[in-house]
A and B are shown apart, each in its own frame.
Chain A
Amino acid sequence: MEEFFQHLINGISIGSIYGLVAIGYTMVYGILNLINFAHGDIFMIGAFSGYFIARGLGADQAPSLFLALVVLILSMVVCGALGFTIERFAYRPLRAMPRLNLLITAIGVSLFLENGGQLFFGADPKFFPELIERQIYFQIGDIAISNYQVIVVGLSMTLMFLLQYIVFHTKTGKAMQAVSFSHETASLMGIDTNRIISFTFILGSMLAAAGGILVGLSYPRIDPLMGLLFGLKAFVAAVIGGIGSIPGAIAGAMLMGLSEEMVVGYFSSTYRDALAFFLLILVLLIKPTGIFGKKTAEKV
C-alpha cells in the first residue's frame, strides 16, 4: 500500500510536467490545427537554457530560491522568443498551404533544433544543477515527499491556473478562443489573428520551458534528444484528453503520468514507452475525439 502511494505521488509529479508540455500542443492544435512537432524540442531548449543560465549566474554553486526563480523566468523568456520566431518565420508563410506542408515544416524545425542542439550543446548528456537543496518534506512510513515534488506540482498548478485565467478571463484569451473557432470570422470582428497566434505560441513555449526546467530538476540528466519522446508522449496525452481542450490536456497528462508510473512500478519498465501509445489507441477506439473532445459533424 505504501508503495502504491509512493507511485501515486511520483505519477502526479511527472503527470503535471506532461501537462505543462501537453497544453502547448493542445493550444497550437486548437488554433492552427497543426501538430507542432517542434514543441518537444522547445521543451528541450528550455531545459538547456536553464542549464546554461544557471551556470552563468552561479546558481549551481549557491542554490537559492531567488536564483532558481530568475533561471526559470529567463529560460521561459528565451523559449517564448524561440516559439515566436518559429511561428513567424517557419509557420506563418505556409499557413495558407495544405496542412501536411505545415506538418513537414514542423518536423523540419524539430530536426533542426535536435541536430543543432547536438552540434552546439554536445550530444553527451549534461547534469542539471540542483537549483534548490533537495530535502524530504514529509515522511509517513515509507512514503517520502521531497520538496522537489512539491515544487513541481505547485509550480505546474500555478502556471495552469494562470493560463486558465488568461484564456477565459482576459480579452486576449477571448480573442484566442474566437480565433480557434474561425480565423476569418475572428478577423472580421477586428481581431488581429496573427498577433493572437503569435501570442499562443509564446504562451505554449513558455509553459514548455517551465516543463523543461522541472524535468531538469527532477531527473537531472538532460540531452538534446530528450524532447523527442517526451514531447511525443505529451502530445499523446493531449490527444487522449481531447485535443484543443486545455482541461483535457491536463487530465490526459495526469492519466499518462500515473499509468506510466504504475506500469514501471508493478509491471516492467521496458514497456513504459509503449504504454502511452497503447492507451492512445484504446481511448481513440472507444471515443475517437478523446475524453474531453467535442464531436464535430462533418459538413457536406
Chain B
Amino acid sequence: MVKKEIYLFGTVIAILMFSQWIISKTLNPYLFMILMYCGINIILGVSLNIINGLTGQFSIGHAGFMAIGGYVSAAFSFYFFAPWISAMGLPFWLQTVGAHFFFLISLFLGGLTAAGFGYVVGLPSLHLRGDYLGIVTLGFGEIIRVLILNLDVIGGARGFTGIPSWSNFFWVYFFVVCVVLLSFRLVRSYHGRALLAIRENEIAAEAMGINITAYKVKAFMLSSFFAGIAGGLFAHYIGYLNPSSFTFIKSFEAIVIVVLGGMGSISGAVLAALITTILPEALRPLQEVTRLDFRMVIYPLLLLTLMLTRPQGILGTKEIGDVLPFLKRKSR
C-alpha cells in the first residue's frame, strides 16, 4: 500500500518535471503567465474550500494569509537565502539546486507563519458564528495589508522588489497536486468527516463528540498554510510584491472560485479556478474590437448570470468523477 503511494508520487513528480521541460521550451511568456496564475488560483481556491466548503465556516480574509505567506517567504529568500547562495561561491549547477532547496524552505516558512496566523484568527471562531466570523476575517485581512503598508523592511507602500524568481511550473503544480490530493484524502478521512459534520450541523456534531473548536481551528490552519504557500509561489514568480495586490478583492476572488465550483466540491474549485483565471484573458480580444475595456463588466455579469441560473455552482456538491463516470478510478 505504502509502496503504491510512493510509486504514484514518483510518477507525478516525473510527469511534472517532464512538463516543466516541455513548457519552458514551447510556451510563450504570456501563456506561461496564465498557466502560473491558474496554478496559484487553484491552490487558493482549493485551500479556501477547506474552510468555506468543507467546514461550512465563512472566511473572507484569504488574501491576508496569502500576503503573509508571500511576504514572509520573500523576506527569507531576499535577506537570507539568496545572499547565502551567492556568498558560497558554488558552481552553477549547485547554485540552481541550492536555489530550489532554499525556495522550498522559504515557502514552508511562509506557509507555517500563515498557519500560525490562521490559529490566531481561528480562535475567535470559538464564539463567533456565521457572518460575524466572516467580518472578522475580512478585518484581519485588511489589518495585515495596512501593517505591511507601514513596514519599511519589506518595502511598505512602494512594494517589495528584488525577490529572486525561483518559482517555476514544477513547484506551482507540485503544490497544486499536493493540495488537491490532500483535500481528497481529507474528505475521506476521520478528520474530514468531522469537518463535514460541523458543516451540516454544529450542534449535532458536538453532540456526537466532535471537538468543534479544535476542528475549526485546524481547518483554518491547514487552509491558511496553503494560502501562504500560494503567496510564496506568487511572490517568487513575479519577483515583486505590493500590498495593493492583497486587498479584499483578492479574497473575494477566492470565494468566487469556491462558490462557482460548488461549495465543498474539490474538483469544482479546480475547474472554477481555471475558468476565473482564463476567462478574463480569453475576453481580451474583445477589448481590441470595442476599444473599451468591457471585460471587467462582462466578468461580474457572467458571475451574476451563473448565480441566478445555477445557484449551487458548476458541480454542486459533486466531484467531477460523479458527473463524468469514466474519470472515476475503478474501486479496488
Asked whether, in the complex, the Cβ of A284 is within 8 Å of the Cβ of B136, the reply is yes
Please name all residues of chain A whose beta carbon is closer than 8 Å to the beta carbon of B314 when the two chains form the complex.
none
Proximity string of chain A (91-131) to chain B, C-beta cutoff 8 Å, 1 when within and 0 when not = 00110011011001101110110011011000000000000
Proximity string of chain A (135-160) to chain B, C-beta cutoff 8 Å, 1 when within and 0 when not = 00000000000000000000000000
Q: How far, in whole Å, are A46 and B294 apart by their CA atoms in the complex?
A: 23
Q: How far, in whole Å, are A258 and B79 apart by their CA atoms in the complex?
A: 40
Q: How far, in whole Å, are A97 and B296 apart by their CA atoms in the complex?
A: 26
Asked whether, in the complex, the Cβ of A281 is within 8 Å of the Cβ of B139, the reply is yes
Question: Size of chain A's interface in residues, with CB distance under 8 A?
Answer: 40
Q: How far, in whole Å, are A286 and B113 apart by their CA atoms in the complex?
A: 26
Residue from B58, B146, B307 within 8 A of A101 (CB atoms) = B307
With A105-B307, A108-B307, A274-B143 in contact, is A100–B263 under 8 Å at CB? yes
B292 within 8 A of A: yes
- CB-nearest residue of chain B to A102: B307
With A271-B146, A277-B140, A288-B132 in contact, is A118–B304 under 8 Å at CB? no
Residue from B132, B255, B303, B304 within 8 A of A284 (CB atoms) = B132
Nearest Cβ distance between residue A119 and chain B, in whole angstroms? 6
- CB-nearest residue of chain A to B248: A232
Asked whether, in the complex, the Cβ of A111 is within 8 Å of the Cβ of B259, the reply is no
Please name all residues of chain B whose beta carbon is closer than 8 Å to the beta carbon of A297 when the two chains form the complex.
none
Please name all residues of chain B whose beta carbon is closer than 8 Å to the beta carbon of A270 when the two chains form the complex.
146, 149-150
Q: How far, in whole Å, are A18 and B332 apart by their CA atoms in the complex?
A: 61
- CB-nearest residue of chain B to A112: B300
A21 within 8 A of B: no
Asked whether, in the complex, the Cβ of A97 is within 8 Å of the Cβ of B303, the reply is no
Q: How far, in whole Å, are A276 and B203 apart by their CA atoms in the complex?
A: 33
Proximity string of chain B (263-305) to chain A, C-beta cutoff 8 Å, 1 when within and 0 when not = 1000000000000000000000000000011101101110110
B329 within 8 A of A: no
Asked whether, in the complex, the Cβ of B304 is within 8 Å of the Cβ of A105, the reply is yes
Q: How far, in whole Å, are A239 and B52 apart by their CA atoms in the complex?
A: 21
Q: How far, in whole Å, are A104 and B262 apart by their CA atoms in the complex?
A: 12
Asked whether, in the complex, the Cβ of A277 is within 8 Å of the Cβ of B142, the reply is yes
Q: How far, in whole Å, are A270 and B300 apart by their CA atoms in the complex?
A: 31
Asked whether, in the complex, the Cβ of A274 is within 8 Å of the Cβ of B147, the reply is yes
Please name all residues of chain A whose beta carbon is closer than 8 Å to the beta carbon of B142 when the two chains form the complex.
232, 273-274, 276-277
Within 8 A of A (CB), among B172-199: none
Q: How far, in whole Å, are A277 and B128 apart by their CA atoms in the complex?
A: 15
| Chain A interface, DSSP helix/strand/loop, else mixed | helix
With A270-B149, A274-B146, A274-B147 in contact, is A97–B311 under 8 Å at CB? yes
Q: How far, in whole Å, are A33 and B58 apart by their CA atoms in the complex?
A: 14
B124 within 8 A of A: yes
Please name all residues of chain B whose beta carbon is closer than 8 Å to the beta carbon of A291 when the two chains form the complex.
none
Give the one of B52, B263, B297 with max A CB within 10 A.
Answer: B297
Asked whether, in the complex, the Cβ of B124 is within 8 Å of the Cβ of A111, the reply is no
Please name all residues of chain A whose beta carbon is closer than 8 Å to the beta carbon of B259 when the two chains form the complex.
100-101, 104
Proximity string of chain A (74-97) to chain B, C-beta cutoff 8 Å, 1 when within and 0 when not = 000000000000000010011001
Within 8 A of A (CB), among B238-255: 248, 252, 255
Asked whether, in the complex, the Cβ of A112 is within 8 Å of the Cβ of B297, the reply is yes
Closest 9 CB pairs of A and B: A277-B139, A274-B146, A115-B296, A111-B300, A112-B300, A108-B303, A108-B304, A97-B311, A108-B300
Give A residues with C-beta under 8 Å from B: 33, 35, 90, 93-94, 97-98, 100-101, 104-105, 107-109, 111-112, 115-116, 118-119, 232, 235-236, 239, 268, 270-271, 273-274, 276-278, 280-281, 284-285, 288-289, 298, 300
Give B residues with C-beta under 8 Å from A: 52, 58, 124, 127-128, 131-132, 134-136, 138-140, 142-143, 146-147, 149-150, 203, 248, 252, 255-256, 259, 263, 292-294, 296-297, 299-301, 303-304, 307-308, 311
Q: A93-B308, A108-B307, A273-B142 are in contact. List 20 more A-B contacts (CB 8 A).
A: A35-B131, A94-B311, A100-B259, A100-B263, A101-B259, A105-B308, A107-B256, A111-B300, A116-B297, A232-B142, A232-B248, A268-B150, A271-B146, A277-B139, A277-B140, A281-B136, A281-B143, A284-B132, A288-B127, A289-B132
